[in-house]
Amino acid sequence: MMVSQSGARRYDPDIARLTSEVVDLIWNELPGYSADKLQKPDLIRSVERYVRLTINVLRRGETPTFGELAIESDLGSRRAKQNVPLESVILAFRVTERVLLLDVLSDRHRWPLKLTRHYADLVIDTFDRLSQHTVNSYRETYSVLESLHERAQSDLMDALISGIALHPAQLSTWAQMLSVEPGRPYLAVAIATEGEKDPLKALRLRTRFTLALQPSAVGPVLFGGTSAAQVGLFSPAGPVARVIENLKSTIAGLHWDGRLIVGVGTVGEDLASAGSSCLEALSAADVGMRQERRQAVVTYEAVLVDSLLLDRAKTADALMATRLRRLEDHPHLLETLQALVDNDFSQSKTARSLFVHINTVAHRLKKIQTLTGYDPLRLNDLLELALAIRYRNLTRGDAAGADH
């Protein structure tokens, strides 16, 4: 619709005043429009550009051209890179639109009603077009950034878990892309479940634990993993004991149908050394699964002996073979040895747990000594037998799998 331009030229507002009014309504008022995301002069320049564009549109009485919109659409890309929420970007447009509309309507007595309506329509149409171009630009850029973020997260976690030495320049690039501080301490957790690995359930589980860990973290919670478990990595904001309590509460609130073990590593001094914490968390989760716990948080420090046995599998296999091989054909002797270990090496408690006479226990222990050459009543021999049977319990599932 064309309207006489003579009236349109009468609209000559104070650009600085309008810009300042809009900025005051946006800065530190809308999420993302603050010093932690962007500089205030950046916002001022953007608002002034849109105010000037709108005034030019009103003066000529026509909607903005595609060229004008294309030039201005780079704002969406910038705001996506600055991680300003899209909802705030859209609200910022609406705030600017409202301020200009109110300013136009405040001078409505200066021109005919038809022209006032035309001005209002032009303002609304201009900001509808601007916001649409900006939203499209924002989404395109955000999609690319999200893809790059996921790739950087995956690459970093894969490198840490695999033990690859990280080059400082590459580590710095990843840290910048992921908004993490490489000099802070880092803690890893490994989430292991049993059975089929449903990708959707795995994603939901990751999301729930991310939300649970975030209040205890400085910066983002990163995720990677192996075929056995998902691995989360973050910089703890407080004591590890608080993290463990959060994890326990999360497991309790999940109502998870099946086994769920969360392994917790020890705190590494910085991001470059966080791979050790990742491996420790995976080891703790593995031990928890092997111990047939149903749902639990398992710390690496609590299962150091088990982890050591599994890490030195060749030596542990030899230990189990030389100490227990001769007992494999005597399951009641293995049962008695296990009960002795479970009952703090007390023969009387062992007898009660097995529902046998204490003399029967003594006779069986003597038989174990005869067959193996190791005396369960001598501390050093008993410790070796206990370690052997502990490793046997840890690898029982491995042996069953090998049989199949």
Structure tokens at 290: 């092997």
Q: For 343-380, what is each residue's pLDDT tens digit?
A: 999 999 999 999 999 999 999 999 999 999 999 999 99
pLDDT, residue 404, reads 36
pLDDT, residue 9, reads 46
Enumerate the β-bridge partners of residue 187: 234
Q: Quick check: do 5-145 and 313-403 share a fold?
A: no
In the chain, % of residues over pLDDT 90: 77
Q: Classify residue 264 as exposed, middle or buried by CB count within 10 Å of its CB (0-12, 13-18, 19+).
A: buried
DSSP code string of 6-50: HHHTT----HHHHHHHHHHHHTTTSTT-STTTS-HHHHHHHHHHH
For the chain, the average pLDDT equals 90
Q: How many CB atoms lie within 10 A of CB 31?
A: 12
More confident residue, 32 or 113: 32
Residue 385: helix, strand or coil by DSSP?
A: helix
Indicate the pLDDT class of residue 115, thresholds 50, 70 and 90. Answer: confident
d(CA 337, CA 352): 14
The CATH number for 168-309, chosen from 3.30.70.270, 1.20.58.410, 3.40.50.150, 3.10.20.440, is 3.30.70.270
Structure tokens at 276: 């050790």
pTM, rounded to two decimals: 0.75
Structure tokens at 328: 């494999």
Q: For 13-58, what is each residue's pLDDT tens digit?
A: 899 999 999 999 999 999 999 999 999 999 999 999 999 999 999 9
Q: What's the rounded mean pLDDT across residues 175-191? A: 95
Indicate the pLDDT class of residue 67, thresholds 50, 70 and 90. Answer: confident
d(CA 52, CA 379): 88
Which CATH superfamily is 5-145 part of?
Answer: Globins (1.10.490.10)
Phi and psi at residue 388, to the nearest 5°: -65, -45
Q: Are 183 and 218 in contact (CB under 8 A)?
A: no
pLDDT, residue 196, reads 65
**Which residues, 6 or more positions from 23, have their beta carbon under 8 angstroms from its beta carbon?**
40, 43, 44, 47
Q: What's the rounded mean pLDDT across residues 239-251? A: 94
Residue ranges of the alpha helices (H) in 163-301? 168-178, 199-213, 240-254, 274-290
Q: What CATH number should be reported for the domain whose range is 313-403?
A: 1.10.10.2840
**Which residues, 6 or more positions from 48, have their beta carbon under 8 angstroms from its beta carbon?**
15, 19
Q: What's the rounded mean pLDDT across residues 241-247? A: 94
The domain segmentation of the chain, as residue ranges, is 5-145, 168-309, 313-403
Q: For 134-167, what is each residue's pLDDT tens digit?
A: 999 999 999 999 999 999 999 999 999 998 888 9
Q: Are 174 and 155 in contact (CB under 8 A)?
A: yes
pLDDT, residue 398, reads 62
